[in-house]
Amino acid sequence: MWGISTARRPFADRPHDQSLASDICNSLRPKAVKGTPPSFVKLMKKCWDPNPSNRPNATELVDILEGWIKILYNNYEPSDIREEFNAAEEYRINSTSAPNSPSMFHPLAIYTSRLLSFSNLKVW
């Protein structure tokens, strides 16, 4: 969800190694960027909960996202969700921020799956 809200790759500025994986397992998360709707940030953070049982499942995500779509496109009544997303879109249009360029990537930022070994990882 962070990638969707930023059009950027997470942790592009550092090596994708055991240190980063360990930091993520210890609750490191990318910061929500200015202009992201608060409801989107709240849902994104729920998806990042260290305890998998606290995260929304796929059905819950679909229900939430479909609800937002209905509010944004099919319901013309005033709503906080519509106001949040309209403000975010206005901010995006007026922002000069650009997605990561290749020069912004750390040479060891690897976006493919691979196995890493952890000896002291907390298991839920």
Terminal-to-terminal C-alpha distance of the chain? 23
* Domain membership flag for residue 64: yes
Residue 87, in any domain of the structure = yes
**Which of 122 and 90 is assigned the larger pLDDT?**
90
What pLDDT is recorded for position 103? 57
Confidence of residue 104 (pLDDT cuts 50, 70, 90): confident
pLDDT of 90 over the 90 cut: yes
Residue 44 lies in a domain: no
| 84 within a domain of the structure (yes/no) | yes
Sign of dihedral through CA atoms 82, 68, 53, 34?
negative
Maximal C-alpha separation, the chain: 54
Checking if the pLDDT of 100 tops 70, the result is no
Q: Total structural domains in the chain?
A: 1
55 found inside a domain: yes
